[in-house]
Amino acid sequence: MRETHTAVVLFVGDRAYKVKKPVDLTFLDHTTVAARRATCEREVVLNRRFAPDVYLGVGEFSSPDTDVPEPVVVMRRMPIERRLSRLVQEGATLDGALRAVARLLAAHHASAPRSREVDEQGTRDAVSSRWEASFAQVRALSDDGAVPDGVAEIERLVRRYLAGREPLFDRRITQRRVVDGHGDLLAEDIFCLDDGPRVLDCLEFDDRLRYVDGLDDAAFLAMDLERLGAPGAAAFFLGEYGEFSGDPAPPSLRHHYVAYRAFVRAKVSLIQASQGTPGAQATARRLITTALRHLRASVVGLILVGGLPGSGKSTLSGALADRLGVTLLSSDRLRKELAGIPAEQPAGAAYGEGLYTAEWTSKTYAALLDRASALLSHGESVVLDATWHDVGQREAALGVAERTHADLVALHCQVPGEVTATRLATRTPGASDAGVDVANAMAAAEQPWAEAVEVDTSGSLEASVEQALAAIRPHADSQTPVFRRPYMLPD
């Protein structure tokens, strides 16, 4: 026998019999036999999409002292030694199994019917409503009204992310990423057989909770793999799903959905704790910690890397963008793009002349921030490589961060004057045209930047990167999987 918060499963010979509990959990009501029968019938139909040879139909349990038999889902019993969760715990090689599951899930998502009703559940507001419902349910489960540690920060981070990302969720709908999915993809319900995986126990009691972004569906299993102590497998699975589905989602959205799934499971664990399940309270705390860790990783950031010519800002900007897997925009390159000339073509001029007049500079920074704003609203963090020596430009960047609900981090690269002079005298031609004279003129006009974190770039690049990362990701956790996008976002 195996018990969940909504059902009891009995294993007899080569069959499994699943009986629904007569409970009302707000998000489902199984208090009548008719409701339980309807759910059983729906469960068989929906799960045959993923495992047609496992779900045999709806049967009945009856006894001499009742006139109303109890409906039961009848299934072919799966070999417990091939359960994915068990394979994870045994340290088995999982790449092939996870690749097969990712392929199956992506294929189902590709062929799943779309509709207006399905799309509506993929909007920013619908995602927000699901979060808010879970917040309310978790608070209701607390006898003394106090929520578990970390929940308040989770609420703040979720609301901030969603507030600035409506264009991202609209694009996901346009890209037909919202599907009638599985909705409850747990490792214990996946069996890795020789002829392919069998995925069981989809969410059947509320269609709206199964109408989700395909990435949200896949994130459930990624969360569960991480819960089982396999963060590398979690990242591998989401990467494989991204490849098979051709999903261009930004890493921030992957982290957001893993966090959502962790919080939903934390809620389930709290329900189980209220039913007396041993260890459920501790499980809920661990899952809340997982959700918080991923939400911190999902924070969308506008990173300003400034400094005078020769300060190493462009080198640091490139290294940070590579390390973080985010977009890099350069004022030097954009300036020449706006002028219609190749980035490597020299366009040197005296300070404040040619392409470097105040008018050209204002035009360049405005375009830089416009592009950054579009990326931020689509969940992409951005590194902006520019001098940022003018207070007005910095205030404009802060305004963009506030409008897109992104975190702004300002880094000010500094080196001794003799290092600047040596670098400018010896560097190879590139997008920047500034020489020593221009650098000196800019130094004389540079305005104080007290809110920026000073980064000494006179030493090794790695040392500068580590110093910068400490300011950008103060809560970085090596246990959080690094999710990278397999494809660039389309224009």
The answer to which of 62-66, 130-134, 158-162 has the lowest mean pLDDT is 62-66
Q: Which amino acid is at 156?
A: R
Distances in Å between the alpha carbon of 400 and those of 150, 320, 394? 28, 21, 10
| Structure confidence at residue 260 (pLDDT) | 97
Distances in Å between the alpha carbon of 19 and those of 44, 59, 92, 421? 13, 10, 32, 77
Q: Answer yes or no: is pLDDT of 491 > 60.
A: no
Taking alpha carbons only, the member of 371, 341, 374 closest to residue 355 is: 341
Query: For the segment 300-332, what is each residue's pLDDT rounded down to a tens digit?
Result: 999 999 988 878 899 999 999 999 999 999 998
Query: For the segment 185-214, what is each residue's pLDDT rounded down to a tens digit?
Result: 999 999 999 999 999 999 988 889 899 999
Query: For the segment 438-467, what is each residue's pLDDT rounded down to a tens digit?
Result: 666 777 677 889 899 999 998 899 999 999
Dihedral pair phi/psi, residue 44, rounded to 5°:
-65, -45
**Which single residue is written with the structure tokens 């300003």?**
304
- Please report which confidence band the pLDDT of residue 416 belongs to, taking 50, 70 and 90 as the band edges: confident
| Structure confidence at residue 187 (pLDDT) | 97
- Domain boundaries of the chain, sorted by first residue: 2-74, 80-298, 301-472
User: What span, in angstroms and rounded, lies between the C-alpha atoms of 215 and 197?
Assistant: 19
Half-sphere exposure of 57 (CA within 13 A, CB side): 2
List, in order, residues 6 or more apart from 13 with CB less than 8 Å away.
77
Taking alpha carbons only, the member of 334, 337, 327, 342 closest to residue 365 is: 334
DSSP bridge pairs for 297? none
Dihedral pair phi/psi, residue 365, rounded to 5°:
-70, -35
Q: Answer yes or no: is pLDDT of 92 > 90.
A: yes
Query: For the segment 1-55, what is each residue's pLDDT rounded down to a tens digit?
Result: 999 888 999 999 999 999 999 999 888 899 999 999 999 999 999 999 999 999 9
| Structure confidence at residue 349 (pLDDT) | 60
Neighbours of 215 (CB within 10 A): 26
The answer to which of 254-263, 338-347, 356-365 has the lowest mean pLDDT is 338-347
Q: Answer yes or no: is pLDDT of 292 > 70.
A: yes
Class of domain 301-472: alpha beta
3-state DSSP call for residue 303? strand
Question: How many degrees, rounded to 5, is the angle at CA 486 between CA 481 and CA 487?
Answer: 140
DSSP bridge pairs for 302? 382, 408
User: What span, in angstroms and rounded, lies between the C-alpha atoms of 11 and 73?
Assistant: 12
- Please report which confidence band the pLDDT of residue 487 belongs to, taking 50, 70 and 90 as the band edges: very low
Give the per-residue SS3 of 109-151.
Answer: HHHCCCCHHHHHCCCHHHHHHHHHHHHHHHHHCCCCCCCCCCH
Whether the Cβ atoms of residue 28 and residue 205 lie closer than 8 Å to each other: yes
Mean pLDDT of 264-292: 92
Whole-number mean pLDDT of the chain? 90
Taking alpha carbons only, the member of 19, 17, 16, 18 closest to residue 77 is: 16
Mean pLDDT of 148-169: 95
User: What span, in angstroms and rounded, lies between the C-alpha atoms of 102 and 241?
Assistant: 5
Q: Is the dihedral of CA 159, 163, 167, 173 positive or negative?
A: positive
User: What span, in angstroms and rounded, lies between the C-alpha atoms of 453 and 363?
Assistant: 26
User: In the 8-state DSSP scheme, what is residue 332?
Assistant: H
What's the token pair of residue 233? 């497998």
398 or 337: which leads in pLDDT = 398
DSSP bridge pairs for 385? 305, 330
- Give the right CATH number for 80-298 from 3.40.50.12280, 3.90.1200.10, 1.20.1420.30, 3.40.50.970: 3.90.1200.10
The answer to which of 97-106, 184-193, 417-426, 459-468 has the lowest mean pLDDT is 417-426
Distances in Å between the alpha carbon of 175 and those of 5, 125, 326, 341? 35, 18, 21, 34
Mean pLDDT of 336-364: 75
Distances in Å between the alpha carbon of 455 and those of 311, 429, 434, 450? 10, 25, 21, 13
Q: Is the dihedral of CA 463, 468, 470, 475 positive or negative?
A: negative
User: In the 8-state DSSP scheme, what is residue 55?
Assistant: E
Give the per-residue SS3 of 424-471.
Answer: HHHCCCCCCCCCHHHHHHHHHHCCCCCCCEEEECCCCHHHHHHHHHHH
DSSP bridge pairs for 199? 190
**Which single residue is written with the structure tokens 């207006």?**
116
Which secondary-structure segment (H or E) carries 33?
helix 33-47
Whether the Cβ atoms of residue 239 and residue 249 lie closer than 8 Å to each other: no
Q: What percent of the chain has pLDDT over 90?
A: 72
User: What span, in angstroms and rounded, lies between the C-alpha atoms of 219 and 249?
Assistant: 12
User: What span, in angstroms and rounded, lies between the C-alpha atoms of 441 and 460?
Assistant: 27
Q: Which amino acid is at 224?
A: D
Whether the Cβ atoms of residue 176 and residue 114 lie closer than 8 Å to each other: yes
User: What span, in angstroms and rounded, lies between the C-alpha atoms of 86 and 188?
Assistant: 7
